[in-house]
Amino acid sequence: MKVAYILNTYPQPSQSFIRRELKGLERLGLSVERIAMRRGDVPLKDPQDRAEQGRTRYVLEAGKGALLMSLLAAMLGRPGAFFAALKGALELGRVSPAGRLRHLVYLVEACHVLRLATAAGVEHMHAHFGTNAAAVAMLVRMLGGPGYSFTVHGPEEFDAVHSLSLARKMERAAFTVAVSSYGRSQLCRWLPHDAWDRVKVVHCGIDPEAFPEPGPMPEGGLRLVNIGRLSEQKGQLILMPVMERVDGVDVHLTLIGDGELRGALEAEISARGLGDEVTLVGWQTEEEVRAALAGCHALVLPSFAEGLPMVIMEAMAAGRPVIATYVAGIPELVQQGVTGWLVPAGDDAALAEAVEALAAMPAEARAELGRAGRARVLERHDMYREAEKLAGYFRAAVGQEQFGG
């Protein structure tokens, strides 16, 4: 079976879940074309990401001449479908802050994706995120291309349902994927009840082969890590007052990642005199992230808004407890008192209490939380089992299309 993944910017350091999903599908024998609109502007440290970049075709690098040829081919080949797609693009642009002109660009991109997909014999398209990649996939379908599906991760999509025309994209899709039951509930809100069964849950997965039986936790003072994009959604700024509140505890926090809030975090660290207690290390390779998890006592994730973060799965697979907020899909994986702590989002006092409880906990009790978390995540988020589910949905969608379903 030939599938095309339609992506906006790929690969990026925060998209390891897509790379794992592709690996799982290809192990099952599916052939996957990677088609992205553009390259990312973040340097790729991980060799696996660099390898993915070499396998990806970039639409906007085709050149103006090739894009114009694709546009003319779509217009002249199936004029009725083209003008229906043109109308669809303008309707999407009418309600989007990006505007109609940007959506006309998406239509041109869709014409070229159609050309690539047709030449490669693609039977189904899948996009990640309900943003412009899903818009391009929908327009390719309207131009006469193969059917499509897309994965919604949140929280951005849940904040912009109308401006993204998310319901329209779901209605035209063969099916839509949510990464948690919470995510599925948010998508079902915008569909009639008889369409709810076309919203599937496929978890982002971890590679069990990359997480052998974990070693013991380190000796000495408490070592915490936070992993992710430094952004308002992830809530890292609240960790600064938390580190002040636990002044009597020997604790060090390492922030792995980068983003728009790095400057604000650096300013907070300096203003609060936390230079010895908090370290920012930027983006790391997967191997470096696993080493950081092995060298810590817990992951702390104070998110204000989420889907279901990959870093929680990775920490649990590494046998480390998790301190997180009970937002979105997180409580579906983290269990209070069993695999870690769940605290209210935005509550630095509750976060500090959880850190203090972890610090006071005997080593064996910490290890037991880690073992329970590892068992839970390996049961629920094995990337190969999740890839089998997704491949089954692809095959069913193609079968329905072939038989006029």
> What is the token pair recorded at 369?
């939380």
Over range 63-81, report the average pLDDT: 97
Q: What would the pLDDT profile of 146-166 be if each residue is shown by its tens digit?
A: 999 999 998 889 999 999 999
Q: pTM of the predicted model, to two decimals?
A: 0.89
The correct answer on CATH 3.40.190.10 for the domain covering 208-380 is no
What are the Cα distances from residue 97, in Å, to 84, 260, 373? 22, 21, 41
Mean pLDDT of the 98-110 span: 97
The pLDDT assigned to 210 comes to: 86
pLDDT beyond 70 at 394: yes
Backbone angles phi, psi at 43, to 5 degrees: -60, 140
Amino acid at 137: A
Taking alpha carbons only, the member of 310, 266, 260, 265 closest to residue 290 is 310
> Could you tell me the residue ranges of all domains in the chain?
2-205+383-402, 208-380
Say whether pLDDT at 405 is over 60.
Answer: no
What are the C-alpha distances in Å from 208 to residues 200, 331, 354, 385?
A: 23, 22, 28, 11
Q: How much is the pLDDT for 97?
A: 94
**Does 168 score more than 60 pLDDT?**
yes
Domain covering 2-205+383-402 in this structure, CATH number: 3.40.50.2000
Whether residue 31 contacts residue 55, with contact meaning beta carbons closer than 8 Å, is answered with no
The CA-atom distances, in angstroms, between 170 and each of 138, 177, 188, 307 are 9, 10, 10, 18
Query: What span, in angstroms and rounded, lies between the C-alpha atoms of 306 and 330?
Result: 8
Going by C-alpha positions, the residue among 192, 126, 61 that lies closest to residue 390 is: 126
What pLDDT is attached to residue 347? 96
Element (H, E) at 141: helix 132-142
DSSP conformational letter for 382: B
Both tokens of 100, joined, read 């109609």
> With 80 as the cut, is the pLDDT of residue 93 above it?
yes
- Residue 279 to residues 15, 56, 162, 167, 272: CA-CA distances in angstroms? 23, 34, 39, 42, 13
Is there a shared CATH topology between the 2-205+383-402 domain and the 208-380 domain?
Answer: yes
- HSE of 164 in the Cβ direction (CA atoms, 13 Å)? 21
